[in-house]
């Protein structure tokens, strides 16, 4: 099974900050990685797929990079609406989610 490890688990930042979340796969997944945003009581929302492709309608301040086993999600300038929990997901072999990164307002 492919394991996904996200870091950090919690991140505190100010509005306007640039933040980066990291996701590591236990084996190479090429670029078969997605990022999701989740808010309490709402369904997860797809942000990035194939490691770096921006889903339609997602603001351009979100970007993804990486391949193989190391991936990052970057938010270039945090907006109030961005404070949420973020998950990476591999879909090379079945699916595995990372444990999540909670982004909090500092």
**Residue ranges that bind another protein, judged by CB under 8 A:** 1, 32, 34, 36, 38, 42-46, 49-50, 55, 87, 89, 91-100
Query: Based on CB atoms, which residue is closest to another protein, 65 or 96?
Result: 96
Give the shortest CB-16-to-another protein separation in angstroms: 28
Closest CA to 21 of 33, 9, 4: 9
Nearer to another protein, 1 or 14 (CB): 1
16/43 with CB nearer another protein: 43
7/77 with CB nearer another protein? 7
| Shortest separation between residue 15's beta carbon and another protein, angstroms | 25
- Minimum distance of another protein from residue 84's CB (angstroms): 13
The nearest distance, CB 21 to another protein, in angstroms, is: 14
As a three-state string, the secondary structure of 54-96 is ECCCCCCCEEEEEECCEEEEEECCCCHHHCCEEEEEECCCCCE
Length of the chain: 106
Please provide the distance, in angstroms rounded to a whole number, between the alpha carbons at the two ends of the chain: 36
Q: What CA–CA distance (Å, rounded) separates 100 from 85?
A: 6
């Amino acid at each position: 099974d492919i394991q996904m490890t996200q870091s950090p688990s919690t991140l505190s930042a100010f509005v306007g900050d640039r933040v980066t979340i990291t996701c590591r796969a236990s084996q190479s997944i090429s670029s078969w990685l997605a990022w999701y945003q989740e808010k309490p009581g709402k369904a997860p929302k797809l942000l990035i797929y194939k490691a770096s492709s921006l889903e339609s309608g997602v603001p351009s301040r979100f970007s993804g990079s990486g391949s193989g086993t190391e991936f990052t999600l970057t938010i270039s300038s945090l907006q109030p609406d961005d404070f949420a929990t973020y998950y990476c997901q591999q879909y090379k072999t079945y699916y595995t989610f990372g444990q999540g990164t909670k982004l909090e307002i500092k």
